[in-house]
A = this chain, B = another copy of it.
Amino acid sequence: YNWHVIPNIDGHNPDAILQAIKEAKAVTDKPSLLCCKTIIGYGAPNLAGTEKTHGAPLGEDEVAGARKKLGWNYPAFVIPNDVYAAWDAREKGTAAEASWQDKFNAYQQKYPELAAELLRRINQKLPAHWQEKSKSFIQTANREGESIATRKASQKALNQYGALLPELVGGSADLSESNCTHYSLSKDINREQPGGNYIYYGVREFGMSAIMNGIALHGGFIPFGGTFLVFCDYARNAVRLSALMKQRVIYVYSHDSIGLGEDGPTHQPIEHASMLRLTPNMSVWRPCDVVETAVAWKKAIEHVNGPTALLLTRQTTPHETRDENTLNQIERGGYILKDCGGTPDIILIATGSEVSLAVQAFEQLTAQGKKIRVVSMPSTDVFDAQDAAYRESVLPAAIRKRIAIEAGATGYWYKYVGLDGTVIGIDRYGESAPAKAVYQALNITTEHIIQTCGDYL
């Protein structure tokens, strides 16, 4: 792989290590790998060289023996003054910081706008007109009412928000065309164009996710990267670290259910939406149409203290009509999309591509005089973070006839429907067929919702 490798360094010999570091620093056209040979638990008279020094304390006698062997004659936790002085970097650090600050002050005087922009990005602030322009985009999307796949809606959102956010760094694990992550302002990063903003990660979901963690930790950029939802399995560990480290990394997971159709069970996520929701600090959005997708992207960008997963359809989803007030509720994660007059008999809760099935059931049942409410719940974590009064207004505790509908594992949804509720979902693996046929075969249909309502009424 064209590394500069220094093998067989005696890892217990400081001079040998220093020599290797000097040698490595002299090589400036490639990365260096220093291979130090060491003995585990070096110095411990009886346990050195065994796995017993890895996971358990050495014990008093071994520690005493190791001190003797290493010529370390100080009490526990005492650092001799000469060692302390040799490692004291405060003066050097203060000088380095002051020098950097002088340089930045000069830059700021010469280029006040660029300096302000740099500080904005490093401090994770959004541009001045962000709120105004993002809201305007969402309103336009609501007015235009286009019916397209939410992965395409995601690309539309990127076209808009991308123009406001030069700090976006996109990419995909070899699925740019399918994830719709490449947008109008994407400039590929390569040898000729190191200043681009789009990375072709290859079929490397783990590498992509880990690199995005690094970009986020560096600061000044907002990384986002795409793959199919089911392939988040290949990156679970790195995705979990985004969440554990509370980094703003945006995962664009398209092909989010059996609705992807022909690729079949290996490609059809079942448990993944719930798995991501159960991962602490991870915000998850599964929007139902262009409008919710625009809101999901806005919330992902504004969510600076953790990652967001956007779960998007391959297949077309219909636009849902909303008045201004309903539109403004989307960002609360869960909201009343359709309602009856008075107290509903049944609440339907749905996400993503299943919202339209719930709305169709609502329309048919409403025409029959039934009292139904449809709650669209694109983000359970954002909904859970709302105040109790709002949550009660959407899902009143007294209404127990509840049906959750999601083309995925059912277990998590009892949190919202309780012991008297029903979950219409999928607790098995999918099938390979066109999307509509798979939905029919696995009984994720308007008819099934209407029938379940009938059982209640």
A interface residue numbers (CB < 8 A to B): 51, 55, 177-178, 233-234, 236-237, 240-241, 244, 265-266, 270-271, 274-275, 277-281, 397, 400, 409, 411-412, 414-416, 418-420, 427-429
Q: Which B residues touch A414, using CB under 8 A?
A: 414-416, 418
Can you list 21 A-B pairs, Cβ within 8 angstroms, ordered by A? A55-B178, A233-B236, A233-B237, A234-B237, A244-B266, A244-B429, A270-B279, A270-B280, A271-B279, A274-B278, A274-B412, A278-B411, A280-B428, A281-B428, A400-B419, A411-B412, A411-B415, A412-B412, A414-B415, A414-B418, A418-B419
Q: How far is the CA of A271 from the CA of B280 in the complex (A)?
A: 8
Q: Which B residues touch A416, using CB under 8 A?
A: 414
Q: How far is the CB of A315 from chain B (nearest CB, A)?
A: 14
Copies of this polypeptide in the complex: 2
Of A278, A281, A397, which is in contact with the most chain B CB atoms at under 10 Å from its CB?
A278
Q: Are B411 and A397 in contact (CB under 8 A)?
A: no
With A279-B271, A411-B277, A415-B411 known as contacts, the answer to whether A240 contacts B233 (CB < 8 A) is yes
Q: Which B residues touch A241, using CB under 8 A?
A: 266
Q: Which B residues touch A234, using CB under 8 A?
A: 236-237
Q: How far is the CA of A274 from the CA of B415 in the complex (A)?
A: 13
Q: Are A278 and B177 in contact (CB under 8 A)?
A: no
Q: How far is the CB of A300 from chain B (nearest CB, A)?
A: 20
Q: Which B residues touch A271, using CB under 8 A?
A: 275, 278-280
Question: Residue of B at shortest CB range from A397?
Answer: B419
Q: How far is the CB of A456 from chain B (nearest CB, A)?
A: 16
Q: How far is the CA of A423 from the CA of B279 in the complex (A)?
A: 16
Question: Residue of B at shortest CB range from A236?
Answer: B233
Q: How far is the CA of A233 from the CA of B415 in the complex (A)?
A: 24
Q: How far is the CB of A151 from chain B (nearest CB, A)?
A: 13
Question: Residue of B at shortest CB range from A240?
Answer: B233
Question: Residue of B at shortest CB range from A420?
Answer: B418
Q: How far is the CA of A236 from the CA of B411 in the complex (A)?
A: 19
Q: Are B266 and A51 in contact (CB under 8 A)?
A: no
Q: How far is the CB of A174 from chain B (nearest CB, A)?
A: 10
Q: Are A274 and B418 in contact (CB under 8 A)?
A: no
Q: Which B residues touch A265, using CB under 8 A?
A: 244
Q: How far is the CB of A341 from chain B (nearest CB, A)?
A: 25
Q: Which B residues touch A411, using CB under 8 A?
A: 274, 277-278, 412, 415
Q: How far is the CA of A412 from the CA of B411 in the complex (A)?
A: 6
